[in-house]
């Protein structure tokens, strides 16, 4: 007999079925034993009647045991119907039980709110934590949002392209994770902070509309609201202006909310536009919380922030190769506003140059950002010049980009959302770890896999690495 999923049991009333499930709860009521069984689709109440052949096995079952249950789907008497509960109108009369695997007592109660459990414990046993209703819902909604994004962009003519994870260092404003190249001693790959350069090269390649739900990695200091690896909804488009990208993403976000979160309300459509100067003057930051009622968990106040300064003064650049007094505020590949291009090329009034950068904020969090890009090599060279890169450094780090742009790159722009952060806000969770299947702790550790971890002397030798003790 084929397995029936629990959410399909109502289609099999008065029929004998087999379900595969976990024992969620057990209630022994003398001559009868009641169970709640759980699979990935929901729960069903089962009952073992007196003199049932399944009784002896039923007496041994404990919570979280994995079982195959044979039973008859019965309509509940009217007085016992629970209309507000899944399968509240039916129950499973248990005829037979096969124990597929036993379970030891869990390290914490997954029937309660596991968010109150010590984080180290939760993440050590994350595979258990993932069984809880709340985390299950988060992971399933993560899938549904990702699917909607893919379907929406596919319908708009986008192509999903996977870009490499082994690449070279890029100036993204954070430290890279580096990977030693065994076959090239003394050389290293860098794991991508974003697919920024590749997606722009795809525009040169004539793809025109690219997207990717991309893994990104940044070796940042410990922060509770960040993860060393995270997910972006990443896209790039050719032959567009700023408003084109913003309008497309606005439509996509509205569709995510209206189709998957009908209980939520978007405060203002179209999303308000604020300049960086306006946001800083009125709210003191560039990710303002515009909600009229900040106590309403279902109110979403999106807004765009535009017209950012391109450069800011710096005493010490994030990149040790630079020697200038200026660094970028967002992205060195951004284009200035068209009316400010002459100032860029002439290196005049550098602090007054505004970029085509656009950030999107939601309820006081930045959830994404992008820009129209510099697609001409001379303009991009000027940016690096202002930042203090010498010609040799520019060629070493960005020569491939400059060469590509010399072969006829169209005007283009794009954006990337913090997928995890968006889900955190939509799911009303306090941090992004609650919506990531296997997150790291706030300190960047994985207690389940016990990583990061040392490697063997043999591996170090193969990689031509000698470890030095850190000075005390």
CATH number of the domain to which 28 belongs: 2.40.50.140
Query: Exposure pattern of 373-391 as b/e (b: 16+ CB <10 Å)?
Result: bbbbbebbbbbbbbbbbee
pLDDT at residue 3, rounded to an integer: 96
Taking the C-alpha atoms of residue 242 and residue 412, their distance in angstroms, rounded to an integer, is 9
Taking the C-alpha atoms of residue 82 and residue 64, their distance in angstroms, rounded to an integer, is 24
What integer is the mean pLDDT of 113-122? 94
| Residue 368 sits in the same domain as residue 223 | yes
Rounded to the nearest angstrom, the gap between the alpha carbon of residue 332 and the centroid of all alpha carbons in its chain is 24
| Residue 52 sits in the same domain as residue 141 | no
pLDDT at residue 328, rounded to an integer: 87
pLDDT at residue 222, rounded to an integer: 67
In order of 1, 168, 190, 197, 199, the CA distances from 164 in angstroms are 45, 10, 10, 11, 11
Taking the C-alpha atoms of residue 417 and residue 235, their distance in angstroms, rounded to an integer, is 9
Q: Helices H, strands E: what count in the chain?
A: 12, 19
- 172-205 residue pLDDT tens: 567 899 999 999 999 999 999 999 999 999 999 9
Tell which of 101, 135, 158 closes a domain.
101
Taking the C-alpha atoms of residue 101 and residue 375, their distance in angstroms, rounded to an integer, is 59
pLDDT at residue 320, rounded to an integer: 52
| Residue 303 sits in the same domain as residue 361 | yes
Tell which of 101, 118, 141 closes a domain.
101
Considering only CA atoms, which of 66, 68, 64, 62 is closest in space to residue 1?
68
For residue 314, name the pLDDT band (cuts at 50, 70, 90). confident
Residue 189 CB-half CA count within 13 A: 12
| Residue 10 sits in the same domain as residue 139 | no
Considering only CA atoms, which of 319, 149, 139 is closest in space to residue 232?
149
Query: Is 383 a member of any domain?
Result: no
Strands (E), 13-130: 16-29, 32-39, 42-48, 66-75, 90-101
Considering only CA atoms, which of 108, 132, 112 is closest in space to residue 121?
108
Taking the C-alpha atoms of residue 441 and residue 460, their distance in angstroms, rounded to an integer, is 27
What is the distance in angstroms between the CA of the first residue and the CA of the last residue of the chain? 67
Taking the C-alpha atoms of residue 293 and residue 153, their distance in angstroms, rounded to an integer, is 32
For residue 442, name the pLDDT band (cuts at 50, 70, 90). confident
pLDDT at residue 26, rounded to an integer: 96
In degrees, rounded to 5, the angle at the alpha carbon of residue 101 between the alpha carbons of residues 99 and 107 is 130
Share of the chain above pLDDT 70, in %: 96
| pLDDT at 318 > cutoff 60 | no
Quick count: other Cβ atoms within 10 Å of Cβ 467?
A: 9
pLDDT at residue 1, rounded to an integer: 82
**CB contact at 8 A, 367 and 359:** no
**CB contact at 8 A, 213 and 149:** yes
Query: Is 216 a member of any domain?
Result: yes
Rounded to the nearest angstrom, the gap between the alpha carbon of residue 256 and the centroid of all alpha carbons in its chain is 15
pLDDT at residue 88, rounded to an integer: 93
The count of domains in the chain is 2
CATH number of the domain to which 298 belongs: 3.30.930.10
Taking the C-alpha atoms of residue 74 and residue 105, their distance in angstroms, rounded to an integer, is 32
| Residue 45 sits in the same domain as residue 97 | yes
What integer is the mean pLDDT of 419-431? 96
pLDDT at residue 18, rounded to an integer: 98
Q: Average model confidence (pLDDT) for the chain?
A: 94
Query: Is 225 a member of any domain?
Result: yes
Tell which of 68, 101, 134 closes a domain.
101
| pLDDT at 170 > cutoff 70 | no
pLDDT at residue 472, rounded to an integer: 66
- Angle separating helix axes 419-426 and 133-155, nearest 10 degrees: 120
- 29-79 residue pLDDT tens: 889 999 999 999 999 999 999 999 999 999 999 999 999 999 999 999 998
pLDDT at residue 172, rounded to an integer: 58
| Residue 88 sits in the same domain as residue 179 | no
For residue 323, name the pLDDT band (cuts at 50, 70, 90). low
- 338-373 residue pLDDT tens: 999 999 999 999 999 999 999 999 999 999 999 999
Host domain of residue 37 = 6-101
Taking the C-alpha atoms of residue 178 and residue 165, their distance in angstroms, rounded to an integer, is 11
| Residue 289 sits in the same domain as residue 178 | yes
| Residue 94 sits in the same domain as residue 204 | no
- Exposed/middle/buried for 337, CB within 10 Å: 0-12, 13-18, 19+? buried
Query: Is 334 a member of any domain?
Result: no
| Residue 160 sits in the same domain as residue 74 | no
- 205-262 residue pLDDT tens: 999 999 999 999 999 876 666 899 999 999 999 999 999 999 999 999 999 999 999 9
| Residue 135 sits in the same domain as residue 25 | no
What integer is the mean pLDDT of 363-388? 95
Query: Exposure pattern of 240-261 as b/e (b: 16+ CB <10 Å)?
Result: bebeebbebbbebbbebbeeeb
**CB contact at 8 A, 226 and 175:** no
Query: Is 19 a member of any domain?
Result: yes
Taking the C-alpha atoms of residue 451 and residue 442, their distance in angstroms, rounded to an integer, is 13
Q: How is 387-406 classified by DSSP, letter by letter?
A: TT--HHHHHHHHHHHHHHHT
Bridge partners for 38 per DSSP: 22, 43
What integer is the mean pLDDT of 269-275? 98
Query: Is 53 a member of any domain?
Result: yes
| Residue 86 sits in the same domain as residue 155 | no
Rounded to the nearest angstrom, the gap between the alpha carbon of residue 376 and the centroid of all alpha carbons in its chain is 32
Query: Is 265 a member of any domain?
Result: yes
- 88-100 residue pLDDT tens: 999 999 999 999 9
Query: Is 213 a member of any domain?
Result: yes
Least confident of 314-328, 393-407, 414-428: 314-328
| Residue 298 sits in the same domain as residue 150 | yes
């Amino acid at each position: 007999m084929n397995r029936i999923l629990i959410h399909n049991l109502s289609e099999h009333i008065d029929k004998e079925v087999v379900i595969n499930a976990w024992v969620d709860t057990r209630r022994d009521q003398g001559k009868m034993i009641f169970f709640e069984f759980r699979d990935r689709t929901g729960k069903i109440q089962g009952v073992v009647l007196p003199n049932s052949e399944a009784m002896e096995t039923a007496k041994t079952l404990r919570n979280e045991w994995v079982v195959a249950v044979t039973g008859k789907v019965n309509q509940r008497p009217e007085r016992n119907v629970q209309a507000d509960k899944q399968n509240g109108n039916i129950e499973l009369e248990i005829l037979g039980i096969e124990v597929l695997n036993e379970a030891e007592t869990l390290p914490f109660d997954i029937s309660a709110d596991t968010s109150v459990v010590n984080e180290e414990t939760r993440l050590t046993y994350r595979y258990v934590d993932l069984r809880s209703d709340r985390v299950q819902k988060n992971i399933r909604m993560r899938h549904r949002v990702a699917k909607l994004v893919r379907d929406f962009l596919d319908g708009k003519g986008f192509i999903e392209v996977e870009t490499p994870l082994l690449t070279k260092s890029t100036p993204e404003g954070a430290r890279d994770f580096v990977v030693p190249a065994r076959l090239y001693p003394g050389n290293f790959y860098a794991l991508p902070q974003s697919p920024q350069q590749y997606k722009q090269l795809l525009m040169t390649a004539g793809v025109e509309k690219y997207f990717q739900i991309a893994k990104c990695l940044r070796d940042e200091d410990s922060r509770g609201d960040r993860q060393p690896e995270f997910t972006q909804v990443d896209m790039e488009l050719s032959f567009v202006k700023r408003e084109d990208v913003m309008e497309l993403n606005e439509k996509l976000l509205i569709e995510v909310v209206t189709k998957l979160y009908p209980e939520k309300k978007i405060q203002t459509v179209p999303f308000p536009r604020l300049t960086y100067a306006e946001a800083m003057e009125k709210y003191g930051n560039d990710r303002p919380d515009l909600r009229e009622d900040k106590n309403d968990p279902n109110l979403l106040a999106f807004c765009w922030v535009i017209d950012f300064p391109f450069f800011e003064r710096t005493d010490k650049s994030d990149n040790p190769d630079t020697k200038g007094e200026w660094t970028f505020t967002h992205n060195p590949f951004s284009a200035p506003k068209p009316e400010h291009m002459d100032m860029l090329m002439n290196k005049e009034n550098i602090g007054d140059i505004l970029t085509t950068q656009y950030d999107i904020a939601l309820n006081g969090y930045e959830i994404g950002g992008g820009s129209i890009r510099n697609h001409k090599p001379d303009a991009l060279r000027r940016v690096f010049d202002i930042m203090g890169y010498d010609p040799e450094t520019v060629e070493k780090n960005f020569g491939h980009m400059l060469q590509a742009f010399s072969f006829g790159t169209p005007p283009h722009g794009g954006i990337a959302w913090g997928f995890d952060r968006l889900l955190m806000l939509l799911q009303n969770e306090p941090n992004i770890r609650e919506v990531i299947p296997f997150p790291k702790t706030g300190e960047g550790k994985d207690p389940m896999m016990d990583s990061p971890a040392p490697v063997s002397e043999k591996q170090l030798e193969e990689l031509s690495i000698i470890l030095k003790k850190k000075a005390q």
